[in-house]
Amino acid sequence: MSIASAVRGGGAGRVLRDEIRATVALSIPIALTQIAQMSLNTTDVVMTGRLGPEALAAGQLGHSLFFPMYITVIGVLFATAAMFAQEIGARRYKGVRRTARQGFWVIVSLTGPAWLYFWHAEWILVHALGQDPALAVRAGEYADGAMWGFPFMAGFSLLRNFIAAHSRPRAALYILAVGIVINAVADWVLMFGGFGLPRLELYGLGLATSIVQTAMFLGLLAVVLRDRRWRRYRILVRFWRPDWPRYREVWAIGLPIGLTKLAESGLFAASGFLVGLIGAEALAGHAVAIQYTAISFMVPFGIAQAATVRVGLAVGRGDLEAARRAGRVAMVVGVLVVLPMALLFVTAGGPLARLFLDGDDAAGAVAIAHATAFLAMAGLFQIADGGQAVTAGALRGFKDTRVPMVIAVVGYWAFGIGGAAVLAFPLGFGGVGVWGGLALGLAVVWAALVLRFRRVTRRIA
């Protein structure tokens, strides 16, 4: 029976409608929170664009280096979303506290290596990735400022998983809404020398990011510690005491997720490096197109997190049929919501690009032409991108992370980056070829993850 026919049915239809409503109700604030999170970066891109195409290209290089490390750590912490949900579903509330504390321990463990990586951003860009030294210097300035906010960005994500597992994700959305305003002001003050301060340009951009992320983490932590339904967990009490079994469990579940996210984000970061070999104007257009696709992706990304929670809650209370149903519903909803954005990218790429770039000069006009072509290609892979994200989220609810990691590494790198490199250079399609490779990698991963979901759910039939 299809989902559509079940919805029109009797008792089974009511159960399915309830699941759809619950998934959508949880997804909307999570998706809005993700969009608000991306709005921080959108503000950064708009501000950087006012410095010119070269600064925008350098900022994109810096972000392309920063984002894979960030998303890897966030991926590791995604383990806590499934662990929180299963503990809550089973009413093991002490386990919720243990998971939260060890999530913070994981962040502490990863901060030192992350800072070392960011500190050598310029060297990595020039010597390991072959990028333009002039752009790499400016990208390194951004990384030098942004690195200090890294552990607070990760901590904010952990607390978001905590509140989402309780089906109450709105607090993070409200804090992010305030953060967007603070970020815009901080960008202006630090990048352009507002209120008489020095003009710091890309270093100021990174520093503003650190300040805002720190403030948002402290705000959400205050909410969790003061709210009567959350403070009972006392997540920071005896924080210094090790809990090695739970620490290892976070790593065992989360490391494959982190590597999966690294493969996925690395796909897009590597695409930026490939486009960077074509020229600064192409890279500026790529930065704009990536920004739009990232904003669009936040909706299925939010549905993926809702899928993890809904599946995890059902698994925790031992209702495996409900877990299977929750995953299927989320997968269908995830595909449907990306269709309007896909159509918009294909039909309105030029006007969208002009919101970020000034077409009055020759360099800006070329960058807009590149962005328009890239957005048309992006529209073609939106369905696959949304589908693979939500399917992976549903699998995380079952704590199934290792096989999806293998699928992601092979699909994104062998098919995605491999295809992008071949299409762009030997076959001569340039930047459009890079985006064609992205579409290929995402489609392969989506198909493989759907097959994996069917295999996992057949085991519990």
* Mean pLDDT within 78-105: 94
State the pLDDT at residue 461.
Answer: 55
**Among 75, 78, 98, 85, which Cα is nearest to 26's?**
85
State the pLDDT at residue 10.
Answer: 54
Q: Is the pTM of this model over 0.85?
A: no
State the pLDDT at residue 227.
Answer: 92
| Cα distance between residue 24 and residue 210, in whole Å | 32
**CA end-to-end span of the chain:** 16
* Mean pLDDT within 302-306: 92
On the 0-12 / 13-18 / 19+ scale of CB atoms within 10 A, 44 is buried
| Cα distance between residue 141 and residue 200, in whole Å | 9
Min mean pLDDT across 145-149, 328-332, 377-381 is at: 377-381
* Mean pLDDT within 67-83: 89
Q: What is the residue range of 43's domain?
A: 3-459
**Among 290, 40, 311, 306, which Cα is nearest to 156's?**
40
Contact 395, 404 (CB under 8 A): yes
b/e map 446-457, b = 16+ CB within 10 Å: bbbbeebbeebb
Between residues 257 and 281, the one the model is more confident about: 257
Calculate the average pLDDT of the chain: 89
Check pLDDT > 60 for residue 8. Answer: no
| Cα distance between residue 264 and residue 408, in whole Å | 7
Between residues 214 and 239, the one the model is more confident about: 214
State the pLDDT at residue 329.
Answer: 95
Number of domain units in the chain: 1
**Those residues with Cβ within 8 angstroms of residue 314's Cβ, 6 or more apart along the chain or in another chain:** 89, 320, 322, 323, 326, 397
State the pLDDT at residue 1.
Answer: 45
pLDDT tens for 193-233 read: 988 889 999 999 999 999 999 999 999 999 999 998 898 89
Contact 266, 412 (CB under 8 A): yes
Handedness of CA 316, 317, 321, 322 (dihedral sign): negative
pLDDT tens for 438-457 read: 999 999 999 999 999 999 98
pLDDT tens for 154-181 read: 999 999 999 999 989 999 999 999 999 9
